[in-house]
Every structure is written in structure tokens, then in C-alpha cells.
Amino acid sequence: MAKRRTSSKKPLNSSEQKPSIFAYFKTRQAKTILGSFLILFSFFLCIAFISFFFNWQEDQSILKEFADKTVRSKNLLGKIGANLSNFFIYSGVGIAAFIVAFQILLTGWYILFKKKFSSLIISWNWSLLVMIWISITLGFAYDKYALLSGVIGYEINEFLQAFIGKTGLVILLTFFFIAYLVLRYKVTFDKHIETLKLKREEREARKAEEEVFNETTQETVTPVKTVEKTETVPLKTDQKEKSVVELSLEKKQPTISKYSDVTSKKEEISLNTEKSTGPVLKTEIAKEEEKEVEIDVEIDVAIGRDEEHSTENLSNQLVKDFGEFDPTLELGNFKFPTFNLLKQYNESISIDPEELEANKDRIVDTLKNYKIGIAEIKATVGPTITLYEIVPEAGIRISKIKNLEDDIALSLSALGIRIIAPIPGKGTIGIEVPNKKSTIVSMHSVISSKKFQESTMELPIALGKTISNETFVVDLAKMPHLLMAGATGQGKSVGLNAVLTSLLYKKHPAEVKFILVDPKKVELTLFNKIERHYLAKLPDVEEAIITDTTKVVHTLNSLCIEMDNRYDLLKAAMVRNIKEYNAKFKQRKLNPNDGHQFLPYIVLVIDEFADLIMTAGKEVETPIARLAQLARAIGIHLIVATQRPSVNVITGIIKANFPARIAFRVTSKIDSRTILDAGGADQLIGRGDLLYTAGNNLSRIQCAFVDTPEVEKITDFIGSQKAYAEAYQLPEYVDDESGTSLDIDISDRDKLFKDAAEIIVTAQQGSASLLQRKLKLGYNRAGRLIDQLEAAGIVGGFEGSKARQVLVPDFIALEQLLENEKNQ
């Protein structure tokens, strides 16, 4: 037996002396190290995951070359970060892998601060389910492998769709989401229903309390009468009542307390006074009566303030109820033209090093022949032109290089050489040399550019690309008018099409209208298809695009009337420009009943301006000069193009109000100075090569090319959509030669005579400006209507600056007067 005991004890002793493998991990030091490691490792994973989203494509090729030291990873945490990210994100659960990093962080936190692991295990279980649910949901949203869903989400999504379809998968995902909320957060519908019931009961109780309060505050001093008719009561009740009344008088304050307090006090006083005798409590009741009157007065004042506040910001309340006014709502489904309507060209600029080197050597040699040394030279290659920037040696005059323009052109055997001496903002001299192989700048590349798409300009125009191959975008609203000139076939009509195309791609039909004048009758005819979308015209005119000189004169004068009418609206609204006016109208601060309306921009485009000057002369020049001087603030902008920029066509008055100018190639330096006030336009190479100035520096641009089939596709696309009932109507212009004598014959009266009479009688104001606003007429026609109303006996005679007296008091008298005229 003893031997058995000793043999049984030996293994016990040996086990006690043998150290445990996990004994160290139970110590505090080990837990601190492990917890810190897990927290730092979670940050490691987050950084690797974020870097993977930006560099995963570059790192795909090196994932299998882990041991190769020469291969570098783009991931911020190297190959290990790239492989871990690929495993968890791309091959795993996608973006839901960030939950793994969060759970590792949570685990480290639990270990570091001795938290209970039971809740941690539950958190891990729910996190795994949430990761799978997110991965499947994102896999359902994307049709192919994506970083957001990962391979797991994609494969499970494909498997489930094959059995239950897309609809079934949506139902299944929704079910698991609801089950997760119910099981994880104990969300039940009965709690929400009870909460809604409690809120409704509280709202009803509050409403009933307010009604009781309103009834009590509207009562007169009736408690005195009821007290006089009541029976006597014991003296104890008198004492109680006296203490209550005195307490309320002592706590009297100038402000009113809550409704419930006032109501309860009033009920308490009335109950006590009903049991009291008249002779004993007369003093207390009198005090109580005074207090009730004071409370009524204070309540009336408070209600008055609330009503005043509610009517103070009517426009803000309208915006809150209905939202801001949306001018595009009538054509809410309008779609802008798509990019695929525009043709794409091969626009990659080919740089020929041999050509650049040869041109550089020729420039240097030519300047050396005239003893001009060059310290530095740099080349910038553009789509059509290459700019060579040279830094001359010290002591060289700029004018000396400028005079060698023709010699440099001869040495380079090229046309279109232009010297910029010096380049503004740089300490260099520029020599522009045409490329042997020019690149076509497509309208597609310009319109789809980030600079144009993200522009916040009022009227953005994408003209083309600069020498540095950057998209050139300007704002017509800030120009505010544009003058274009160029010889035949140099790109002037293409430039007009580029301007119009830019606005069609950016502005809604409610925001801009065009008035197109085309004396040649063939350049702008394609835009007839968008008449009821974008064009404006005179009333009772068949074609919106104007080709007749007489109609041009009438349209320009009508536009002057529109300008005056708009300035009247701006004056009434107390704003300075169309942008402020439209912003105020959108905020519903202007009443449409007062004639206010949303004002679209109006762009007047005139092609072949020289032809109009030759045929109409001063009749055209005067309204254009007036519009150029005044129309900027009310949103009317002019684009005038001409072949021959001579001084008798582009006069000093017109030039002074057209600071923004575009010059295509012209035939002489005189024409260049006429349009630009500087030379250079005669040195252009044509085919869309242009110089642009806004009154300061000249910029050389290659105009974007828009072919006729492209314009036709754009107009067909817009014209096939829902349009307004008619084109934008300009005010009617009546020629002065038609006369303004009184018209007594009923058959010769204006067709708007009856409408005008009703407006005048309703307003009891005989004013031509009133008819202009209400009927949207020009001043001449409104004046003729006033004369006809005077002849009919509806308004009185002319009284200077005062409005005419209205002789007809009401509608009945007006109808009787018109009926008597018919019977005569």
C-alpha cells in the first residue's frame, strides 16, 4: 500500500514542478503587451486598407512576388499591408473588412482594461453576421467584382440570385436586417406604436389645456356676481380663502406663468369664493378681481406679439411651405444634350523633338546674326502653335527683337509667326511658331472638360484650348458683350456655333433665350428646331431667326423696350442686377401680381453686322449702341460678328462698349488694330486660330471645331423634347410712322382695346406704363391704346407727368359704354 502511495505522489510532484505554457499570458504584463499589440495592429490594418483602395490595381501584379526584394509595393505599409488588404477586402468581404479592424481594436481594449470577455464574444458573433450581410448587399448593388463587396459577397449574391432571383434576395436581405434590429437591439413595433400613442395623447391634452386657458382668459369679472348670490359659510373657509388670495397677490409678477398655473389658480379662487359670504370677503374679492383683470391684459399683449411674429416673414413661410420658386419646373423633364452627339477626334498632341530642335537652332542663329545673344530658351507645345520663350542676354533691347518678326518667319519658312515682347507676368519674350502638324480641338473635349462642367459662371462659353492645351472658358455675363471679326473662311461661323453650343449644354431653356440675326439666311437656320425652347421673337412673327433688315430694326427696338421694362422691375424690387432680382424672386419676396416674373438671360447674336450697317445704318447702330451701354445689368448680352472690321462698321461708340473681342485671321494690320487695338490678327494661320482680349492681354486660342452635322444632332435632340407653348415673346414695337393720332373708328381699334379698358377701369389709373406691365407691350403700342381709350371717353386728357383721370367708375358702366358704341 505504501508503495502505491509513493508511486501516486510522484506524478503529482512532477506536475507541480513543471512550468505551464500559458502561465505567462495570465500575468498583467503579458495582457498589457498583447492588448497594446492588438490596438496598434488594428490601426495597421486600417491604414493598409485605406491605402489599398487607392493602389490596389498597381499592387495586384506584385502579390505573388512577395519574396522578391526588388519589387516595391504602392501600399503605405508595404507588401504585408498589400497582401493583408487583398485577403480581407478583395478576396474577402470588401469594405466590411474595416469591421475586422474595429473588432481587433475592441479585443485589445478588453484585454488591456480587464473587461468581461462574454460581451466581446457576442460582439464578434454579431460582427461576423453584419460583415456577411454588408458584403452580400454591396454585391447585389454591383454586377461585377468590386472592392466594396469583395469576392465573398459577390459569390454568395450570385448563388442566391440563381435560386430566389433579385426580388427574393431583396426580401431576404430586408428580413435579416429587421431580424438583426429585433434580436440585437430589442427593437419591437409595439414600443413605437405606444410611443406614437403617448405623443398623440400629450398633443391632445396640450390642445385641450390651451382651449380651457383661452376660455378662461376671455371671461369677464363674473366671479363677483356669483359671490354676491352665494350662501354664507363657516369662518374657517373664510380664513383659508383669504390666505389663498393674499398668497397670489404677494407672488404677482409682471410676466405670465404657464397656462396650467393660471388655470388652476383661477379655478381655486372661483371654488373658494362660491362658498364665501359677501360681507366678510369683499376686500379679498376686490383684490382678486384686480388681479384677474391684470392677467387678462397681459395675455392679450402676448397673443398680439405671436400674431405679429407670424406675419413678419411671409416670404420665408412661403419658402418653407412650398420651397423656392423653380423656373425650370414647367420643363422639369428637360434633358441636356449628351456628349455622344459631338464627334471625337484624335487630339493627342504629337511632339516632334527634331522639329523643336530645328526651330530652336534657327531662332538662335537668326538672333545671333543680329548680335542678339540668348541666355535660355523653352518650348511649350500646343494643338496648333508652339510657344518658344527666350531670355535674352543682359543689355538687349526688346524692341530690337520685336523688329525681327519677318526675319524669323523667313528663317523658319513659316507663316503666322508672332512675337510677344515681353510675355505679361513673365520675364521672357515669346515667339509663337505654327506646328507642321496641327491638332483639331473637338467640341467634345472642351464641353466634357472638368473646367467647363464644374464652372459656376452665369453664361459659360468654352471657346477652345490655349497654347498650354488648357480649356479656355469665359463668362459672357461678365464680358458683357462680345465682338467677333475675321475674314471669310477663317472660322468665324464655327466660333458662333461653339458659343451657342456651350450655352445649350449648360443652361436650361428657362434660364437663357437667344435672338438670332442671320442676314445670310443659311448660317443659323438649324437653330429653328429649338424655337419653342430657346429662341425669342416678336409677336405675330412666323420665323424666329431674323433675316429681314426691317424686322432686325423692329427687334432691336423691341429689345430696348424690354430693357426699359426690366429696369422698371429692378427699380421696383430695389435691386441692382438680374442676378439679385432672380434670387429675390426665387425666394418669393416679389409678388407676381405686381408684374414681377423670373427673367431669363437674353443673348442677341448678329452675324454679318457690316451688311446691316450698309442697309440700315443709323437705324441699327443706335439701338445696338444703347443696348451695349445699358443692357448689361438686366441680362441682355450682345454677340456681334463681322467680316470687315473697318471703322465705319465698328464705330467708336460700339467699340467702347465691347471690351471683349475675338479676332480670327484678318487681311491687314489696320483691321487687326481696328478690332483688337493691337497687331497680331494678321499673323494668324486661320482654321480657327484666334486672338481673344478682354481689355487687357491677348490670348491665342485654337477654337473648338463644331461641324454642321453635330449642330443638327444637338438641335434635333432638344427639339424632340417637350417645349413651351410658344417662343419667348418680346414686347411689340410699333413704328413711329404709324402715327399716334386719336382713333375713333371702332374697326381700327387695337385688338387689345377691351383688355386695356378693363385693366384701366379696375386699377382706376390711366397710365401707359400700367398697360406695358400688364399686357407686356411696348411704349408706342401702350400709348396708342391710351389715345384710343381717350377717344372712347374712358380716360381723360393728357395732364403732364400725372396719370390720366379714369372717367368710367366700374365694369357695369364700361360694358354699357361699349354696348352703346356697337349700337351706334
Average pLDDT on 727-735 reads 83
> In terms of C-beta density within 10 A (0-12 exposed, 13-18 middle, 19 or more buried), how is residue 729 classed?
middle
Average pLDDT on 105-117 reads 79
Known binding-site residues for ATP equal 486-493
Give the tens place of pLDDT for each residue, 437-480: 888 899 999 999 999 999 999 999 999 999 888 999 999 999 99
Single pTM value for the model: 0.55
Picking from 194-198, 444-448, 734-738, 741-745, which range would have the lowest pLDDT averaged per residue?
741-745
Give the tens place of pLDDT for each residue, 590-627: 888 888 999 999 999 999 898 888 888 778 888 998 99
> Could you tell me how far CA 289 lies from the centroid of its own chain?
62
Which domains does the chain carry? 24-185 (no CATH), 199-310 (no CATH), 353-434 (3.30.980.40), 464-728 (3.40.50.300), 734-823 (1.10.10.10)
Known binding-site residues equal 486-493
Interatomic CA distance for residues 299 and 254, integer angstroms: 11
Q: How many residues does the chain have?
A: 824
> In terms of C-beta density within 10 A (0-12 exposed, 13-18 middle, 19 or more buried), how is residue 297 classed?
exposed
Instruction: Evaluate the CA torsion angle 657, 662, 664, 666 in order and state its sign.
Output: positive
Tell me how far CA of residue 545 lies from CA of 25, 196, 710, in angstroms: 89, 63, 19
Give the tens place of pLDDT for each residue, 502-552: 999 999 999 999 999 998 888 899 899 999 999 999 887 888 899 888 889
386: pLDDT strictly greater than 70:
yes
First to last CA, the chain: 152
Interatomic CA distance for residues 565 and 779, integer angstroms: 9
Looking at residue 22, the DSSP 8-state letter turns out to be S
For the chain, counts of helices (H) and of strands (E):
30, 15
Q: What are the CB-based long-range contacts (under 8 Å, 24+) for 157-165? A: 160/136
Interatomic CA distance for residues 590 and 571, integer angstroms: 12
Q: How confident is the model at residue 578 (pLDDT cuts 50, 70, 90)?
A: very high
Q: How confident is the model at residue 3 (pLDDT cuts 50, 70, 90)?
A: very low
Strands 460-466 and 482-485, by their bridges, are unpaired
Q: How confident is the model at residue 338 (pLDDT cuts 50, 70, 90)?
A: very high
Angle subtended at Cα 593 by Cα 589 and Cα 598, rounded to the nearest 5 degrees: 55
Looking at residue 592, the DSSP 8-state letter turns out to be G
Q: Which amino acid is at 22?
A: F
Contact of 86 with 93, CB cutoff 8 Å: no
Looking at residue 657, the DSSP 8-state letter turns out to be T
Interatomic CA distance for residues 512 and 516, integer angstroms: 13
